[in-house]
């Protein structure tokens, strides 16, 4: 990683989540000069690859390969610095200390300015909150002087939960609306890499438009900012600032 480059970390339970839910943030910060590092804990091979399985004559290895290809293409379209696959399996996802330390080591290496992961609850998908809790705990491990003493510990990067599929049922509530209008074309290009989930393309386009309208409303009708597309985030820690304006 280049000296003085700002960085960010995105932890995605399945290999497509980062596209639908955080593609705008990735593209926007990449455009601002951040090295955005993506970790996909699984390929979503069991739970989010229905279309591939229905093709018939399919194996888990083939599904994973197809999903990897899609995810790499999408990460490229977004301008991410790197995408890494932990391949720990999905439906159900399970984590152990080894996975935890592996992710803590990513925190140490990347030293992110901010972190994105899933919502804290999701009754439709148990892998999602598991990914968030793994991320939170890995961040804590990476902050501890006693873990691999001598290495540079991480600071206290803010953690944001990106939007789940059914926000109200997940008790997710956005307190940050990110204006992604400038990079929408990149996000939509990344979305189109997800050939196996075409039914979601328009769904997430509408999500972006709705969050854009809400962002516009929250800056006020008199504002000159021309916001069309947005992404919602819920922050898990208080932000520290010197200005409330």
Question: What residues numbered 183-202 form the site for its own copies, per CB under 8 A?
Answer: none
3-state secondary structure of 67: helix
91-94 own/partner pairs: CB under 8 Å, 24+ apart: 91/46, 91/47, 91/127, 92/126, 92/127, 93/13, 93/41, 93/42, 93/126, 93/127, 93/130, 93/131, 94/130
Which residues in the 77-106 window bind its own copies by CB under 8 A?
91-92, 94, 97, 100
**With CB under 8 A, what is the number of residues at the site for its own copies?**
93
Collect all residues with Cβ–Cβ distance below 8 Å to 196 and sequence separation of at least 6: 49, 50, 51, 52, 66, 67, 70
Nearest approach, Cβ of residue 243 and its own copies (Å): 7
| Residue in 1, 155, 185, 195 binding its own copies, rule: CB under 8 A | 155
Nearest approach, Cβ of residue 3 and its own copies (Å): 17
Interaction of residue 3 with its own copies, rule CB under 8 A:
no
Interaction of residue 227 with its own copies, rule CB under 8 A:
yes
Nearest approach, Cβ of residue 146 and its own copies (Å): 3
Structure tokens at 160: 């944001």
| Residue in 137, 189, 201, 228 binding its own copies, rule: CB under 8 A | 137
Interaction of residue 206 with its own copies, rule CB under 8 A:
yes
Structure tokens at 154: 């991480």
Render the burial of 150-166: b for 16+ CB within 10 Å, e for the rest. Answer: eeebbeebbbbbbbbbe
Interaction of residue 72 with its own copies, rule CB under 8 A:
no
| Residue in 1, 5, 123, 198 binding its own copies, rule: CB under 8 A | 123
Interaction of residue 143 with its own copies, rule CB under 8 A:
yes
Q: What is the C-alpha separation between 107 and 77, in angstroms, rounded?
A: 24
Interaction of residue 20 with its own copies, rule CB under 8 A:
no
Candidates 70-78, 79-87, 155-163, 185-193; binding stretch for its own copies (CB under 8 A): 155-163
**How does DSSP classify residue 119?**
-
């Amino acid at each position: 990683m280049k000296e003085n480059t700002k960085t960010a970390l995105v932890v995605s339970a399945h290999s497509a989540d980062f596209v639908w839910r955080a593609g705008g943030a990735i593209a926007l910060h990449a455009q601002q000069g951040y090295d955005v590092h993506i970790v996909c804990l699984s390929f979503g091979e069991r739970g989010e690859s229905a279309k591939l399985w229905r093709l018939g004559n399919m194996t888990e290895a083939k599904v994973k390969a197809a999903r990897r290809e899609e995810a790499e293409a999408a990460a490229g379209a977004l301008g991410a610095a790197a995408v890494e696959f932990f391949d720990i399996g999905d439906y159900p996802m399970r984590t152990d200390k080894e996975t935890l330390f592996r992710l803590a080591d990513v925190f140490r290496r990347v030293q992110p300015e901010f972190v994105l992961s899933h919502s804290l609850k999701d009754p439709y998908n148990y892998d999602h909150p598991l990914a968030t809790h793994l991320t939170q705990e890995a961040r804590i491990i990476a902050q501890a002087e006693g873990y691999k003493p001598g290495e540079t510990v991480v600071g206290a990067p803010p953690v944001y939960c990106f939007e789940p599929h059914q926000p109200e049922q997940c008790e997710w509530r956005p307190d940050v609306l990110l204006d992604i209008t400038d990079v929408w074309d990149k996000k939509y290009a990344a979305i189109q890499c997800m050939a196996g989930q075409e039914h979601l393309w328009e769904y997430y386009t509408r999500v972006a438009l709705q969050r854009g309208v809400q962002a516009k409303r929250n800056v006020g009708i008199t504002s000159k900012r021309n916001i069309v597309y947005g992404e919602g985030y819920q922050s898990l820690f208080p932000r520290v600032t010197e200005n409330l304006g």
